Amino acid sequence: MERQVYEGFSVVVPDGWTEREDDATFAESDGDLPVRFAAVGGGAGTVLVTAPLFHPEEQPGNDPAELLAHAHDWGARRGLAEPSSASTQTRREWTMATAVYALRGQFVQLWFFSNGASFVHASYVCEWDAREDERAPREALMASLRFA
C-alpha cells in the first residue's frame, strides 16, 4: 500500500479500497471537492476527505475541545442532538476529534484533524445497519492521515 498525496493531506488507501469520483456529499467546504474512498466494486459506505480553506485568523487550532466543538456544531446545524459517541486523540502529527450521528437512517462518522496550521475534515456515510461492515478499513484510512 502506497501513500497517496492530495491537496493538504496524504493517506494510505486500505487494500480493497480505491479513490472514487462522484458528486454526492455531506461535506461543507469552500476549498477543493472532497476526495472519496470506497471499497472496490462498491461497499457499505464512502469516506470523504477534504482540507477546507480558512482565513488565517479563523484557522482552527489543535485543541481537542475546539475540534470536538466542530463535530457538535455539525450536528447542531442539522438539528441533531448530541452525537451517539464522540472522542478526541492527540498524536505527535495532529489532534483529532471524531463523532458519530444517526441522520435519516444513515450512520455518519466525522473526523476533524488539525496540527495548528492545517485542518482536514473527513466523514464516513453508510446505512445505519451496515455501520460495522467497514470499520477496520475506515479506521485504518483515518489513522494513516498526514498533513501534506
pLDDT tens track for 119-130: 999 999 999 999
pLDDT for res 27: 45
CB atoms within 10 A of CB 141: 21
Dist CA 97 CA 61 (whole Å) = 12
Domain boundaries along the sequence of the chain: 3-147
- Domain 3-147 in CATH 3.40.30.10? The answer is no
Distances in Å between the Cα of 140 and the Cα atoms of 61, 78, 120 are 24, 28, 16
Which residues share a beta bridge with 49?
A: 35, 122
* 17-36 residue pLDDT tens: 999 875 544 444 445 689 99
Nearest to 14 by CA among 146, 142, 148, 147: 142
Cut 0.75: pTM above it: yes
